[in-house]
Structures are given as structure tokens and as C-alpha cells.
Amino acid sequence: MQFFFEVLIGGLLAGVMYSLVALGFVLIYKASGVFNFAQGSMVFFAALTVVGFAGMGVPFWLSIGLALVAMLLLALFTERVVLRPLVNQPQITLFMATIGLSFLIEGTAQLVWGAQVHALDLGVADEPIEWILDRTSMSISKFDLMASGIAATLVAVLAVFFNKTRTGRALRAVADDHQAALAVGISLRRIWVIVWMVAGFVALVTGLLWGARNGVQFALTFLALKALPVLILGGFESIAGAIVGGLIIGASEKLAEVYIGPYVGGGIESWFPYVLALLFLLVRPEGLFGEKIIDRV
């Protein structure tokens, strides 16, 4: 029983990481209706920039700052080169454009910083918390807990940003209705840059956490894919959904691997979340927190 809880909590904490990636997606989707496949490569790019500068001897916090600047430049670039030319195209076209964008970002990142795996040390080790270990003999990683704490703070900050600030209100207006937002004088372009910037910031945080856990490597880009099942469960437009969805996917993935895995030779994690999402879609296409879509003719 205890083992179950250990796996469960481990899964939940891993799920927090998924939630972070999904969060980036939700932000961009909410504000521009674009499903940003490049989110994963943005995570990779951000993390790589940090370790790249750090590797050159730049102090850690300055590296992070420089990476933020890089993300801003990326946001500007994306708005100008990808979003603006494709402004009235159907969703699927924009989605494919972000696939192209993700390859662009990956290629550039590797070109600039090289393709080897980089280690990233955030000062918190991936060790069991002794306090809990002594009392319950469950091993729960310090790192995972810290990551959850950071994620929770981030979500709280974003919630405040969206609901209490003027820019946040503008973002919500744009997410609701582009035309109406334009009509009240909100600059769509500025909003998009801001949104991609915020998503870039989220990508940076995600990149640092994931990178510290697994090393900064190309495989980070495939995080984008893991976020898809999260979004399907949680709905594409809900921050709460991204959190809950991520937790569910993380937990179920670990539990499936541990309890079902041995019977089929392991490695279930590669496809389980997708099949789970698929089954979920058949029952509730709009996700846990999504809105039902009514087709009007």
C-alpha cells in the first residue's frame, strides 16, 4: 500500500512537470487560438541558452536573464514571421506552421550551442526527503517537491497576472474574441508578443526544472508531445485543466508502468498517455474543463 502511495506521489510530482509544459500551450492557445507545437523546442532552447551561457562562464542568474532576453527575441520573431503572415488561416495551418517553427528553433539551438547533453544543477538534489523517509519510509524526492513548489508559485503568479492586471485583462479579451478586442483598441500584435513572451518564460522555468532532472538534451523537445494528452484531459483553454490533466497523466503513467508494465515487458510510458487520452476523447471530446463545442450550420 505504501509502495502504491510512493509511486502515486512520484507520479503526481512528475505530472507537475507535464503541467508546466501544458501551461505554456494553454497560454498561447487562450490568447491566439494557436496550438503551439513549438512549445517543446522553446523549452529546449531556453534551457540550452542558460547552460550555454553558464558554460561560457557567465554567472548563473545572468545566464537566466540572457535566456529571458532570448525568449523575448524569439517571441518577436515568431509574431513577425509566423503569426502575422498567417493571421486568418485555419487552425490546422497554424498548427503545422508551429511544427515548422519547432524544427527551426531546434536546428538553431543546436547550431549555436552544440548537440551534446548538458548537465544542469539547480542546487537541489534528487534525493529522498529524510524527514518523510524516516517517518513513513516513503521516498519522495526533494527535487520533485521543490519543482512542485515552483510550479504552484508560477500558477499563482499567472492567475494574479491574468485576473488583476490590465494586460491580463487584455489577454483574456483577445482569447475571447479577436474582433471585439480590436474594437476596443487592444493591439493584437502587442498582445501576441506578450503572450509568447510569457509562454517563453514558462518554457524557461520548465526547461530549467526538466533540464536539472534529466539533463538538457534534444529529447526535451518531445515534451511537447507529452503535453498533448494533458491538454486533451484538461481542455485546451483551462489553466486549471492543465494542472489537473498533468497530475492525472503523470500519476497514471507511473502507476501503469509499475503495475501493468512488468506483464508486457515495460516501456509503457511511451504510449500509455496517448491511448489514455484517446479513450478519454471518445467519451468526452472537450476535456474535463473544456467547453462543449456546438456546430452551428
Partner 1 sequence: MFYREAGQFKSTYAEDQRLFPIRQDRIGMAVILAIAFLVLPIASSAPALRGVIDFNYWYNGVIIPFLIFSLAALGLNILTGYAGLLSLGTGAFMAVGAFAAYNFELRVPGIPMLASFILAGIVAAGVGLVFGLPSLRIKGFYLAVATLAAQFFVVWALTKFPWFSNYSTSGVIAAQKLVAFGYAFDSPVKRYLLVLVIVALMALAAKNMVRSSTGRAWMAVRDMDVAAEVIGIPMMRTKLLAFAVSSFYCGVAGALYAFAYLGNVEPQAFDLDLSFRILFMIIIGGVGSILGSFLGAAFIVVLPILLDIWATWFERTAGIAVPAGLVSNLTLIIFGALIVFFLAVEPLGLARLWQVAKDKLRLWPFPH
Bridge partner list, 128:
141
Q: Does 295 bind partner 1 (CB under 8 A)?
A: yes
Least separation, in Å, of the C-beta of 290 and partner 1?
10
- The terminus-to-terminus CA distance of the chain in angstroms comes to 53
Burial zone of 198 (CB within 10 Å; 0-12 exposed, 13-18 middle, 19+ buried): buried
Least separation, in Å, of the C-beta of 126 and partner 1?
26
Helical residues (DSSP H) of the chain, grouped into ranges: 2-32, 39-55, 60-78, 91-113, 130-136, 142-164, 166-176, 178-183, 188-214, 223-234, 239-259, 261-264, 272-283
The residue among 181, 141, 150 whose CA lies nearest residue 23 is 150
Site for partner 1 in 190-249 (CB under 8 A): 222, 225, 228-229, 232
Backbone φ and ψ of 128, nearest 5°: -65, 145
Q: Which is nearer to partner 1, 230 or 244 (CB)?
A: 230
Residues 45 and 39: their CA atoms lie apart, in Å, by 10
Region of 103-111, 136-144, 149-157, 187-195 interacting with partner 1 (CB under 8 A): 103-111
Residues 231 and 237: their CA atoms lie apart, in Å, by 8
Q: Does 1 bind partner 1 (CB under 8 A)?
A: no
Q: Which is nearer to partner 1, 200 or 229 (CB)?
A: 229
Site for partner 1 in 59-78 (CB under 8 A): none
Region of 54-62, 100-108, 140-148, 174-182 interacting with partner 1 (CB under 8 A): 100-108
Least separation, in Å, of the C-beta of 131 and partner 1?
38
Region of 104-112, 135-143, 188-196, 250-258 interacting with partner 1 (CB under 8 A): 104-112
Structure-block grid coordinates of residue 234: 484538461
Site for partner 1 in 29-58 (CB under 8 A): 35
Region of 59-67, 120-128, 194-202, 261-269 interacting with partner 1 (CB under 8 A): 261-269
Which residue among 7, 72, 86, 138 contacts partner 1 (CB under 8 A)?
86
Handedness of CA 68, 241, 13, 267 (dihedral sign): negative
Q: Which is nearer to partner 1, 56 or 293 (CB)?
A: 293
Which residue among 153, 180, 270, 291 contacts partner 1 (CB under 8 A)?
270
Least separation, in Å, of the C-beta of 272 and partner 1?
9
Which residue among 16, 54, 82, 204 contacts partner 1 (CB under 8 A)?
82
Q: Which is nearer to partner 1, 76 or 150 (CB)?
A: 76
Backbone φ and ψ of 216, nearest 5°: -85, 105
Q: Does 93 bind partner 1 (CB under 8 A)?
A: yes
Identify the DSSP state of 123: S
Long-range contacts at 152-161 (CB < 8 A, ≥ 24 apart) = 154/20, 154/23, 154/202, 154/205, 155/23, 155/239, 155/243, 158/23, 158/27, 158/198, 158/202, 158/239, 159/239, 161/198
Q: Which residues bind partner 1 (CB under 8 A)?
A: 35, 81-82, 85-86, 89, 91-93, 95-97, 99-108, 110-111, 114-115, 222, 225, 228-229, 232, 264-268, 270-271, 274-275, 277-278, 281-282, 285, 295, 297
